[in-house]
Amino acid sequence: MNENVVVMKFGGNTLANKEKILLAVDLIKNRIENGKKPVIVASANGNMTDILLDNAYSLSENPDKRELDMLITTGERISVALLSIALRARGVNSVSLTGSQIGLVTTSQHSGADILALKSDRLFKEIASGNVPIVAGFQGIGENKEITTLKRGGSDVSAVFLASELGGNSVAMIKDVTGVYDKDPNKHEDAQKLDLIDFDVMYKLALEGANILHPDAVKLAKEKNVKIEIVYYKDGKVGTVIK
Ligand SMILES: Nc1ncnc2c1ncn2[C@@H]1O[C@H](COP(=O)(O)OP(=O)(O)O)[C@@H](O)[C@H]1O
Ligand SMILES: N[C@@H](CC(=O)OP(=O)(O)O)C(=O)O
């Protein structure tokens, strides 16, 4: 446990092109300059996961689940490698890592696995040696040593789990919206931003379709008492705190 560790999760919409990756670099550098030790969880760029799934279903009506997980975990792998390349070019020591490399052990179920444990000290070693770990969200390694994925949108769950294991007890969810609103602000002009909400209210909103956070991530955050901050990707401002 390290109080200075801060888990920052970048969603797919916040890493979708070069400009957005460079904004992510700025937010990460800013945390380091403030004495924090960021641990990054990244999702696949834009709708990459859907594109990969479409490719698979164009070849088979019923693709093998193991092969599907092998395929769709590559989306996150691209994101973490590109982000780490961008960081290293700007003077930040970073290392991209897959779910299996950090020992994120899950149930053996493909496409919908549950996280069981973080069974390796790789992340702690990287942090101690001064590297910013850039971890592929949404994926792990099953108890049977096969690559697994969580439910769709599961990078939020990866991030909350890592925050509870690594310390700091808070997670910054970097999003393409300025906070949680009472309804989707991209669909309703009169949506009102909520500055502070409790886990139960957020869980209900998420279940009702507010896809800004995965309901399982909110549930896990409540169980582990991990505070969630919704941070706008352009300016790094905290728009909503969930605790
Ligand atoms: N109540 C809400 N408050 C804020 N955003 C919402 C809400 N309901 C739906 N959204 C949508 O959630 C999106 C962010 O979630 P998502 O794209 O899944 O994030 P990420 O890819 O970062 O995990 C926003 O672009 C917004 O349109
Ligand atoms: N890329 C995965 C996992 C994920 O969590 O994505 P996002 O953080 O963009 O919701 C998906 O599309 O399901």
Q: Quickly list DSSP for 113-131.
A: --EEEE--SHHHHHHHTT-
Instruction: Specify which residues 8 forms β-bridges with.
Output: 40, 172
The pair of structure tokens assigned to 212 is: 């800004």
pLDDT for 2 equals 75
Give the domain CATH number at 200.
3.40.1160.10
- 140 three-class SS: strand
ipTM surpassing 0.90, yes or no?
A: yes
Is the model's pLDDT at 168 over the cut of 80? Answer: no
Q: State the average pLDDT over residues 185-195.
A: 97
Tell me, what's the pLDDT at 1?
61
Q: What's the gap in Å between 130 CA and the centre of ligand 2?
A: 28
Take residue 135 and report the two structure tokens written for it. 């971890």
Q: What is the mean pLDDT of the chain?
A: 97
175: Cβ below 6 Å to ligand 1? Answer: yes
Confirm if 196 and 36 have CB atoms less than 8 A apart.
no
Retrieve residue 8's tokens.
Answer: 């920052």
Helical spans, DSSP H, in 60-144: 65-89, 122-128
Token pair, residue 160, equals 């909350």
% the chain with pLDDT above 70: 100
pTM for the model stands at 0.97
Which of 7, 13, 49, 158 has most ligand 2 atoms within 8 Å of CB, for mutation? Answer: 49
99 lines ligand 2 (CB under 6 A): no
User: Ligand 1: which of 211, 214, 230 to mutate, judged by most atoms within 8 Å of the beta carbon?
Assistant: 211
Pair type for strands 37-42 and 5-10: parallel
Q: Contact 170/6 with Cβ under 8 angstroms?
A: yes
Q: How many structural domains are present in the chain?
A: 1
Report which DSSP code applies to 61. S
Quick: pLDDT tens for 114-165: 999 999 899 999 999 999 999 999 999 999 999 999 999 999 999 999 999 9
Nearest-CA residue for ligand 2 atom 6 is 153
Mutate to test the pocket of ligand 1, among 212, 228, 230 (most ligand atoms within 8 A of CB): 212
Cα distances (Å, whole numbers) of residue 154 to 44, 112, 213, 220: 11, 9, 9, 12
Q: How far apart are CA 109 and CA 233, in angstroms?
A: 33
> Which listed ligand is nearest to 49 at the C-alpha?
2
Q: Whose CA is nearest to atom 23 of ligand 1?
A: 11
Domain that holds residue 187: 5-242
- Nearest atom, ligand 2, residue 154 CA: 5
